[in-house]
């Protein structure tokens, strides 16, 4: 296995419909498998990307189904990076507090769980605002970490 030397860069652009979540997951799964991640970690990565894209569809695009979401994957030096870019409403992650789970269930509030899961499942989660009204979520998983645990 020469996964350290491999460089796998791919991009998928899909419309902002929840109908496309399955395609997004298979795209990411394939790239993660090629990068050398185990089944279990591939599941965590594809779920995190699903959550990020679901948030884009719901919040950035407010369920308008004809906008674009770009999902780029990159693997080099043991680091798997997924970059999700949209051109919808700006998003400030600081406005979404980390849920206290017990309180959360009591309140019947059903938002913010996706962000919480991404943080738990990935090694890094970053949010950027780019010029031209673009938003980016960057998810990172390290191969070495994930195979050790």
Partner 1 sequence: MADFNVNVRGLGSVSVIDVKGYLDAHTAPQLENAFNQLINKNNYKVVVNFNDLSYISSAGLGVFMAYVETMRENKGDIKFSNMQDSVFNIFDLLGFPMLYEFYGDEKEAVNKFEKPE
- Residues that bind partner 1 in the complex, under the rule CB under 8 A: 17-19, 21-22, 25, 40, 43, 47, 50-51, 54, 57-58, 101-102, 104-105, 108, 110, 113-114, 116-117, 120-121
Greatest alpha-carbon pair distance for the chain in Å reads 49
Helix (H, G, I), strand (E, B) or coil at 61: coil
By beta-carbon proximity to partner 1, the closer residue of 97 and 132 is 97
Query: Alpha-carbon distance 33 to 36, whole Å?
Result: 5
- In DSSP terms, 142 is beta-bridged to 79
By beta-carbon proximity to partner 1, the closer residue of 58 and 79 is 58
Minimum CB–partner distance for residue 81 and partner 1 (Å): 21
Residue 64 sits at φ, ψ, to 5 deg, of -75, 120
Strands 134-142 and 68-76: unpaired
Minimum CB–partner distance for residue 5 and partner 1 (Å): 30
Minimum CB–partner distance for residue 2 and partner 1 (Å): 28
By beta-carbon proximity to partner 1, the closer residue of 24 and 143 is 24
């Amino acid at each position: 296995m020469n996964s350290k030397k491999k460089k796998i860069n791919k991009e998928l652009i899909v419309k902002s419909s929840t109908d496309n979540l399955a395609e997004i997951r298979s795209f990411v799964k394939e790239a993660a498998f090629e990068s050398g991640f185990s089944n279990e970690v591939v599941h965590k990565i594809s779920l995190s990307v699903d959550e990020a894209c679901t948030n884009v569809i719901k919040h950035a695009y407010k369920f308008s189904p004809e906008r674009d979401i770009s999902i780029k994957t990159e693997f080099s030096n043991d680091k798997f990076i997924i970059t999700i870019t949209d051109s919808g409403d700006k998003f400030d992650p600081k406005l979404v507090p980390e849920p206290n789970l017990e309180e959360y269930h009591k309140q019947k509030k059903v938002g913010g769980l996706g962000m919480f899961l991404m943080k738990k499942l990935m090694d890094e989660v970053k949010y950027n605002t780019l010029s031209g009204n673009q938003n980016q979520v960057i998810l990172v998983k390290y191969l070495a970490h994930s195979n050790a645990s």
